[in-house]
């Protein structure tokens, strides 16, 4: 981080895939920077609200600029609507409690999902001018959260940056979630079991390496603070601009292992929630995208190596 090196930064969801990477990248980019993690008991909504409000008030003070990077999120594409209803309630309670606080100007970043938001959109590739068309409760919940944060930012005078992410991959993914094709293929192979694919093998996704994503978040927040007025909301797609089919992903994982995978085709109701072609190209904050992205093959090898090391 550069533009507001004196800002205190709070990462919400710092134990998750993106949040952990953002917190690590922020600390490495500017040693000594005040980067904090919110410790939240997510299974108890009342306690979670209290913890989040306390943590945000710890950085969002009247005395100095602040940053909150909200990377927390529940569920996956197949998750039922009731889970997301609880998440919406939690976010609403937190923002309502904070709305009347006196605070210096600051920036809020919210991590959303491009794949979920544009799952039913057409034609690809999609950019920020494309009309969202979610197919599942997951995508509709992401849009609802974006709207909640946008309304709060406008009413409080905070800057808001909504980041809609393509498929994140790399070391450190949550293996307990039924998502992340690269990690799930590699894990199944290491455990000696077959992988099941529920969508056509020509299904296409944009794959963004986790370290690239974290660096982009920090650059985008810096750029937003330099170029955006208080109370303004900006939405940006975070993507590599390079896509791969499932066939190509399987081939990359096989190359990393040096042997074939046992991949089988099956059926699952959640397959109807999946867009077949989710290629992206951002038009917003273009300087953030002007970087050398991690080669997909190398990123897959890094992921496989990390999973192997974790099992030793």
Q: Tell me the pLDDT tens digit for each residue of 46-57.
A: 999 999 999 999
Residue 3 falls inside a structural domain: no
> At 300, which CATH number?
3.40.50.720
Is the residue at 203 inside a domain? yes
User: Is residue 118 included in any domain, yes or no?
Assistant: yes
- As for how many domains the chain has, the answer is 1
Q: What is the mean pLDDT of residues 38-43?
A: 94
* Tokens standing for residue 192: 């000696």
41, 51 Cβ separation under 8 angstroms: yes
Q: Is residue 219 part of a domain?
A: yes
Give the torsion through C-alpha atoms of 83, 89, 90, 96, to 10 deg.
170
* pLDDT tens, residue by residue, 155-195: 999 999 999 999 999 999 988 876 799 999 999 999 999 99
Instruction: Please give the pLDDT value at position 7.
Output: 79
DSSP string, 151-185: HHHHHHT-EEEEEEE-EEESTT--TTSS--HHHHH
Q: Is residue 2, in this structure, part of any structural domain at all?
A: no
Instruction: List, in sequence order, every residue forming a beta bridge with 66; answer none if it has no partner.
Output: 8, 106
Q: Does the bond joining 123 to the residue before it have cis omega, within 30 degrees of 0?
A: yes
Is the pLDDT at 41 greater than 90, yes or no? yes
Is the preceding peptide bond at 125 cis, omega within 30 degrees of 0?
yes
Give the β-pairing of 204-209 and 243-245: antiparallel
Low-confidence winner among 72-76, 226-230, 281-285 (lowest mean pLDDT): 72-76
What is the length of the chain?
A: 312
Cβ pair 135, 273 in contact under 8 A: yes
Domain membership flag for residue 249: no
Q: Is residue 23 part of a domain?
A: yes
pLDDT at 2: 46
Q: Which domain holds residue 302?
A: 8-244+254-311
Q: How far is CA 88 from the centre of its chain?
A: 17
Q: How far apart are CA 147 and CA 228, in angstroms?
A: 18
pLDDT in tens, 239-256: 999 999 999 999 999 999
> For residue 275, how many other CB atoms are within 10 A of its CB?
25
Residue 81 is assigned to a structural domain of this protein: yes
Nearest-angstrom CA–CA distance, 216 and 163: 10
Phi and psi, residue 251, nearest 5°: -65, -40
What is the secondary structure of 215-230 as a DSSP string? HHHHHHHHHHHHH--T
- The structure's pTM equals 0.94
Backbone angles phi, psi at 172, to 5 degrees: 100, 5
What sign has the CA pseudo-torsion 121, 108, 100, 55?
A: positive
Count CB atoms within 10 A of the CB of residue 148: 17
| Pairwise CA distance, residues 173 & 73, whole Å | 14
């Amino acid at each position: 981080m550069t533009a507001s090196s004196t800002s205190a930064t709070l990462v919400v969801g710092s134990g998750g895939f993106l949040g952990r990477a953002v917190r690590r990248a922020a600390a490495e980019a500017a040693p000594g920077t005040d980067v904090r993690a919110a410790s939240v008991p997510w299974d108890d909504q009342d306690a979670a609200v209290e913890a989040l409000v306390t943590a945000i008030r710890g950085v969002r003070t009247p005395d100095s600029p602040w940053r909150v990077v909200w990377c927390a999120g529940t569920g996956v594409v197949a998750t039922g609507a009731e889970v997301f209803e609880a998440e919406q309630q939690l976010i609403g309670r937190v923002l309502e409690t904070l709305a009347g606080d006196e605070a210096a100007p600051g920036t809020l970043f919210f991590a959303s999902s491009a794949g979920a938001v544009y799952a039913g959109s057409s034609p690809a590739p999609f950019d920020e001018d494309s009309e969202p068309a979610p197919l599942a409760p997951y995508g509709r919940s992401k849009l609802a959260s974006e709207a909640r944060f946008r309304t709060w930012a406008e009413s409080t005078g905070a800057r808001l940056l909504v980041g809609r992410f393509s498929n994140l991959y790399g070391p450190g993914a949550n293996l307990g979630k039924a998502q992340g094709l690269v990690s799930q293929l590699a894990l199944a192979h290491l455990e000696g079991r077959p992988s099941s694919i529920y969508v056509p093998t020509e299904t296409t996704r944009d794959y963004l390496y986790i370290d690239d994503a974290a660096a982009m978040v920090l650059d985008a927040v810096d750029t937003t603070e330099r170029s955006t007025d208080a109370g303004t909301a900006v939405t940006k797609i975070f993507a590599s601009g390079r896509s791969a089919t499932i066939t190509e992903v399987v081939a990359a994982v096989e190359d990393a292992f040096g042997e074939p995978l046992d991949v089988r085709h099956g059926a699952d109701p959640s397959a109807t929630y999946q867009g077949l072609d989710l290629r992206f190209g951002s038009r917003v904050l273009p300087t953030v995208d002007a970087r050398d992205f991690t080669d997909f093959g190398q990123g897959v090898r890094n992921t496989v190596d990390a999973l192997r090391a974790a099992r030793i």
